[in-house]
Structure 1
Amino acid sequence: MSRSPEAPARAVLRRRILGLALPICAALVVGAAAQSVIAALLGHMGDDALYVRSVFIPVAFLVLALQEGLDISTQVGFARLRGAQDVARTRRTLGAFVRTGALVFAVTALVIAVTAPWLASLLDVPAEQRAQFVEFARWMAVASALTVPTTIAAAALRGWGRPGLSAILSVLAAVIQVGGVWLVGEVGGLGVMSVPLATAASAVIGTAAASILLLREGLARGPRPASPTGVTAGETGEPGPTSSGVDVRGLLLGIGVPVGLSYLLLTVTNFVTVWILSSSGSSVVAGYGAAATVQTVLIVPAIGLAAAVGVVMNQQWGMGDLGLLPRTLRVGTTIVVGVYVTTGLLAFLTAPLVARLMAADPRVVEETELYLRVVGPSLAGLGIVLFLLTLLEQLGHGPVAVALNVAYAAVSLGIGGILARQGGGPEALYLVIACSNAVGVLVVLPLTSHLVRRKAAEVPASPAGAEVEPTDVDRTIESGIDR
């Protein structure tokens, strides 16, 4: 049986996407697990430690939004440089991102330091914990600013096609933070102040490790000499034929800002959901919290796959092969559909077991199971939608993604909140959320396909019926992933 001439190209794309996605997803899971472990450690240090960190969460989400905006902007920029084989501009681009990120975080740290007492009043921090909260907020702001070089380095390595090296930095930071909180906070008795100290330590050590990895890859120095056996993509000092460098300011404003807004919107959505459910009692809120924790873990693959597909598509963009974007989207979407149809089915089937693992109180178990039974199957739609929206952000359509996120929140929480508050209870809200997840696919998938096809049409199309095989640069990038 003869194979379709398109099969080899699809196989190359599938291998490249999965090769990028696996270490990215692993790093995301480790990072999320580390924060859970830190929370558990603080919970054993006394109520004050966990309370102070918990009340700081709204500020932490602001910092996270800034970090993610900087991270994704850097990833996109370096993916395009890699596609263009433009190692000559990597050092300059790194410097521009670091300087801009350092300035933004320095200003943010200063604002948090000055407004910390006011934030304590706004968040109703009791008088006996207010001084500790103010001190914690100020030092956390400083520690977060120190993470800028590591954040940029990890994103640059990811965009350059080295997800394994990027994951090393992320896992290293997580291990140091957890170990530092345990050693200094619990064993040493420093308590909650061990968190900023461990964060700062991970930032300093991470920066040193990042410098070594960036130098190893030739991204933080001048051009490497050509190999005696041939020139490898990204190893020449001359820009590729399609390269004109990357506009750091344009990436930060066009990609970083919408990404940050999306993360802030998620925070607002979570608070509104809790407010809607609060009228149904503490067991319902606790059950939702447990189920939302499970859901957060389940959507990690969507974010990792979107990052992987985004890297591949931006590398194609950088090398001028925009005509390959629709095919890459189809391959990536096929993978995501397979992953999330399975995920939705498992969430539904395992709801009773997972609920019992997440809680001991029978009432909380019942509410957790209710959410997973009602919303669980629709995680198939949520995963696909989240993948597509994240990908739109990485292709420069951040405002579209933000608008769709706002519309989703308005519909699901608006209609669901009204029905829940008027007697439908939490099940009414969950049913509306499930329907929104399903309907979202019908809206976001065709829109994403249209925007990608429109971008691909900006270059001359291949002759009718002609198959576009992977270029030498394609194969070089694939073979160089996580070498």
Structure 2
Amino acid sequence: MQGLDYTSGSVNRLLIRTAIPMLLASLVNVTTQLVNVFFMGHTSQTVLYVLSLYIPISFVMIAIVEATQLSVQVAVSRSRAEGSPYFTQLFAHMMGSAGVLAIVMGGLVMLLSPLLSWFYAVPSDVRPLFAFYVAGMMAAGVPAVLAAASGAALRGLGRAQAASWNAVGTALLNILLVYWFVSVIGFDLKGIIYANLISSTLSLLISVLILFVRKELVSVRLAFVQRHLIALRQVGIPVFISYCLIFVSTFFFNKIVSHFGEGVVAGFGVGYRIQTMAILPGIVIGSAIGILINHNLQQAHRPRAYESYRRGLMQSFIIYAVISVVIWIWREPLTALLNADPVSRTEAARYLAIVALSYLTMGPMMTTLLTMEQSGRGYQALLLNAVYFLLIITAGWVLTRVFNQVVYFYSVIASVNAASLFCLIPVLRMFKREYAGQPVPGGTVLEGQEVIDGQSYSTQS
């Protein structure tokens, strides 16, 4: 197996070489999502309303995508030296698990769509469109989950550029397909479903083809091996629960703003979608840090693991200093470009005016959470996520009901984002204790120490 060697050379250079292709792919995906909003935002407020209602539901498939791809990426990174036969077995186990989970969860959401319509008090004339869009996107999510898993396998093997170029190409195809189906044929929401089905299926086929051409996938007799699923349990489960938490939380977010009418819901949906896209660079950097950490777990390389997080966090702060200011300054032209409805456009701009500058700390926190999830601290990351959303929901619900103004909800989001800065210092110290601790001669394990590859390392600062 070939690819980047993460155990030697400049940490900064390796982070950049890993993150930039992934960031490029993410930026193209951002563009894809924004183009979808652009096309839908120039149809009708009803279509934009359905898109906004779908945001929390989308996190069901996103939960599976993230849990699967992070599990695959971690498992492949840690077992890279095992050879192609082992990788083939591992890949088959991961893809099978991902496919079954996507089908089961997607089917469950389809069955529950009438309940979702009731929860949101969707008007009766809109309910058929809402149910159709939910069912179609759940179906399109199955090949999307498998495509994400195969791309993560390429990244875990050190082939981030191949995975990213695949993502870029198929994302551009998605944009063209959405344009064709929506603007030319006039399919509206159906056009997004068809475009996602075609582009994600093609992405899956390309990733698998690359693995075969590079002889990473070979002919072996498949057999169930329990240890292949360890990464799913250690990484995938907490990540999946974290995104399910986002799924539940965004339901309450929409419930809070729905008190103020369809126009506010649609505008909040546009602003929140921009925010969701804005955090992707932080996720990408955290994923790149995770790859470096998992390639440097041996005794001789562990200080590089800590250095990877420290330098990656600095890069995240620099990037989000730019992102937060740019979105805040250009909020009105951006929302005007994406949305033709004056009411929802004004609401989206108001949301970004209050929240955008807080991305300076929210982005690095996302980098930290992704790093924690890929380094065996998924449940700690889950706890931080739970506290974050609980604070926003509780304070946002109380303040909007007391003062009857939605801006209080937006202010709560901005305040909690800013407060996340106080979580970064303890996490930085935690990584330093574990990865940059000094080995204790003789291998004797004392309280506050751990054994790594036969050597005892201090876990105290």
Indicate conservation of the 8 Å contact 1:74/1:156, yes or no: yes
Change (3 A) 1:122 1:310: same
The one of 192, 211, 214 equivalent to 2:211 is: 214
The one of 424, 445, 451 equivalent to 2:430 is: 451
- In the other structure, the counterpart of 1:409 is 389
Corresponding residue SS for 2:420: helix
Letter in 2 for 1:266: I
- How is 1:78-477 mapped onto 2 (pairs within 5 angstroms)? 78-82=76-80, 84=81, 86-112=83-109, 114-115=111-112, 137-184=134-181, 187-188=184-185, 192-221=189-218, 247-278=227-258, 288-317=268-297, 321-350=301-330, 370-423=350-403, 425-443=405-423, 445-456=424-435, 460=439
Change (3 A) 1:268 1:457: same
Change (3 A) 1:350 1:42: closer
Indicate conservation of the 8 Å contact 1:24/1:163, yes or no: yes
Letter in 2 for 1:171: V
Listed one character per residue, the Cα deviations across residues 188-239 of structure 1 (whole Å, up to 9, x for unaligned) are: 565544444433333432232112211233321279xxxxxxxxxxxxxxxx
Indicate conservation of the 8 Å contact 2:267/2:344, yes or no: yes
Indicate conservation of the 8 Å contact 2:60/2:244, yes or no: yes
Distance 1:24 1:16 in 2: 13
Percent identity over the alignment is 25
Letter in 2 for 1:18: I
Change (3 A) 1:47 1:97: same
Asked whether 1:12 is paired with 2:10, we answer yes
Letter in 1 for 2:17: G
Letter in 1 for 2:144: T
Normalising by the residue count of structure 2, what TM-score does the alignment of the two structures yield? 0.78
Letter in 2 for 1:403: L
Change (3 A) 1:220 1:459: farther
Corresponding residue SS for 1:218: coil
Distance 2:253 2:36 in 1: 25
Q: Tell me the matched-pair count.
A: 432
Letter in 1 for 2:206: A
Range with greater deviation from structure 2 (269-278 or 149-158): 269-278
Distance 1:106 1:50 in 2: 27
Listed one character per residue, the Cα deviations across residues 83-134 of structure 1 (whole Å, up to 9, x for unaligned) are: x464442111111101111221232344345555665666656666656655
Distance 1:100 1:256 in 2: 11
Indicate conservation of the 8 Å contact 2:59/2:247, yes or no: yes
Question: How far is 1:271 from its partner?
Answer: 3.9
Distance 2:289 2:393 in 1: 30
Distance 2:160 2:324 in 1: 27
Letter in 2 for 1:93: L
Indicate conservation of the 8 Å contact 2:361/2:421, yes or no: yes
- In the other structure, the counterpart of 1:24 is 22
Change (3 A) 1:124 1:287: closer
Change (3 A) 1:410 1:161: same
Larger Rg: 1
Distance 1:124 1:415 in 2: 23
Distance 1:452 1:135 in 2: 46
Indicate conservation of the 8 Å contact 1:316/1:322, yes or no: yes
- In the other structure, the counterpart of 1:5 is none
Range with greater deviation from structure 2 (295-304 or 279-288): 279-288
Indicate conservation of the 8 Å contact 2:78/2:295, yes or no: yes
Distance 1:368 1:89 in 2: 49
Change (3 A) 1:47 1:280: closer
Corresponding residue SS for 1:94: helix
Distance 2:161 2:171 in 1: 15
Indicate conservation of the 8 Å contact 1:417/1:429, yes or no: yes
Range with greater deviation from structure 2 (167-176 or 109-118): 109-118
Distance 1:362 1:251 in 2: 47
- In the other structure, the counterpart of 2:36 is 38
Change (3 A) 1:278 1:60: closer
Question: How far is 1:336 from its partner?
Answer: 1.5
Distance 1:47 1:345 in 2: 29
Change (3 A) 1:336 1:402: same
Change (3 A) 1:320 1:206: farther
Corresponding residue SS for 1:219: coil
Structure 1: 5+ residue stretches without partners: 1-8, 224-244, 463-483
Corresponding residue SS for 2:10: helix
Change (3 A) 1:330 1:11: farther
Question: How far is 1:181 from its partner?
Answer: 4.0
Change (3 A) 1:352 1:168: closer
Question: How far is 1:349 from its partner?
Answer: 5.0
Indicate conservation of the 8 Å contact 2:235/2:378, yes or no: yes
Normalising by the residue count of structure 1, what TM-score does the alignment of the two structures yield? 0.75
Letter in 2 for 1:292: Y
Asked whether 1:60 is paired with 2:40, we answer no
Indicate conservation of the 8 Å contact 1:303/1:390, yes or no: yes
Structure 2: 5+ residue stretches without partners: 1-6, 442-461
Range with greater deviation from structure 2 (304-313 or 125-134): 125-134
Change (3 A) 1:413 1:48: closer
Change (3 A) 1:173 1:347: closer
Indicate conservation of the 8 Å contact 2:70/2:374, yes or no: yes
